[in-house]
Amino acid sequence: MKQPFGYRTTALEAVEGIDLTGKTAIVTGGYSGIGVETARALATAGASVTIACRDYERAVSTAQELNEATGKDHVRAGELDLSRQASVRAFAEAWLKEHSVLHILVNNAAVMACPYGTTQDGFETQFGTNHLGHFALFKGLLPALQRAGGARVICLSSTGHALSPVVFEDIGFEHRAYDPWLSYGQAKSANALMAVGIQRRYASQGIEAFAVHPGGIMTSLQRHMTDEEIQSRGWVDENGKVNELFKTVEQGASTSVWAATSAYLAGRGGQYLHDCEEAVIHDVVPENRTGVMRWAVDPDNADRLWEVSETMLAQLSEASD
């Protein structure tokens, strides 16, 4: 059955008619950009939502604003810095003390095209934050997802995944020149593969996962780019006007919300979604960058990434003992 949604669907339209009363949700990076609109839509539908963010005071303020706007008291704030594994563990432990089940986990937060650096734990910044932070968060919250009797994990990827597969031989750019866009592409491929990995391991336990490309949206994600670079890519014109093909933040959040709530997607996990539809798989990058590259949904790549991620986190744990 074809879904009545598309490119310009908003998050509130995607959740219209859906009752999430009694459901719990976590949205990382839920105080800005499409994260806010994802949290707003889920809360409007009745879910109890935690926005997990690096700046706790800002998260508290955003939660209050969302509660006032929705006329509900369903949004709470949590402190989470995905670039620090200690923060990820602390957030998961604190959340589990207050909640027994988790129905929706939206791995929304990200950094993009930043200069070379490493996280506090020594991982290359974009891979360490965008992928390993969310991987550890999922593992930490797994007991609550398993108890939900039906849960969904949404991994925010990007058309940028087409820039690079996961380069398993040199994830940390130790033996090749660092390129911020190749790093971003690798991390976004990892996000997509994480959804495949979750689906393969936990679908039988009622946990389904989807990768999502939200579309082109101007948000704080572009903060590491210069005005000249943004203009050269055609994202804005010389007057700063945003490209008309870009989505609003409300539209950009729609596929995440659709993936998290749609009955149509039941039993269809592991897929890469965009514009509220299932993406076509490509072996060669198309000129318009639509769909998903096979490397980002390949089961063997997903298994390899899972093993590598567990090893990286295990080595970090051993080093801290």
Q: Domains of the chain (ranges plus CATH)?
A: 11-221+248-320 (3.40.50.720)
pLDDT at 92 over 70: yes
Catalytic residue among 31, 184, 202, 272: 184
Q: Find the largest Cα–Cα distance for the chain.
A: 54
How many CB atoms lie under 10 A from the CB of residue 20?
22
pLDDT at 235 over 60: no
**Of the segments 123-132, 286-295, 311-320, which one has the largest average pLDDT value?**
123-132
Name residue, tokens 């590598």: 308
Q: For residue 191, which amino acid is it?
A: N
pLDDT at 64 over 80: yes
Give the neighbor-by-neighbor strand order of the sheet with 277-278.
Answer: 75-79, 48-53, 24-28, 104-107, 151-156, 207-213, 272-274, 277-278
Q: Is 184 a catalytic residue?
A: yes
How many CB atoms lie under 10 A from the CB of residue 239?
6
How does pLDDT run across 249-279, given as a tens digit for each residue? 999 999 999 999 999 999 999 999 999 999 9
How does pLDDT run across 29-62, given as a tens digit for each residue? 999 999 999 999 999 999 999 999 999 999 999 9
Specify whether the backbone of 33 is left (phi greater than 0), alpha (psi in -120 to 50) or beta. left
Q: Are 80 and 27 in contact (CB under 8 A)?
A: no
